[in-house]
Amino acid sequence: MPPLASKHNILLAAGYRSDDERDIYYHCSARKTLSVEFIGRHNETEIEEIAFKDTSVCGWRFYFNSEPSETVKREIVRALTSGRGRRNGGEFEV
């Protein structure tokens, strides 16, 4: 199995979904997003550790090769949680 397909299967097994429009994998309950580019640059063990690590108390976590801006983070969270997001003072917690 090619490495990217194997990583895809790891993420699916951990409950992630893909968003082809944004080139990310996300897990709303775990509050994590991983860019496809980040996934491609890290090995299967690293992806598995990230996918299954409990970070739910830390707010949303973004695993990208370059840190996305706060605006991009808010946009992603808003799109992924529309109607389901936790709000703090009118803004989504990032």
Over the stretch 10-19, which tens digit does the pLDDT of each residue have? 999 999 999 9
Tell me whether residue 72 is in a domain.
yes
Looking at the structure of the chain, the number of domains it has is: 1
Percent of the chain with pLDDT over 90: 69
pLDDT for the residue numbered 15: 96
Contacts (Cβ under 8 Å, ≥6 apart) of 72: none
Tell me whether residue 56 is in a domain.
yes
Mean pLDDT value of segment 55-83: 89
Residues 6-48 have pLDDT tens digits of: 999 999 999 999 999 999 999 999 999 999 999 999 999 999 9
Tell me whether residue 13 is in a domain.
yes
Provide the residue range defining the domain that includes 31. Answer: 3-83
Tell me whether residue 88 is in a domain.
no
Contacts (Cβ under 8 Å, ≥6 apart) of 65: 35, 37, 38, 41
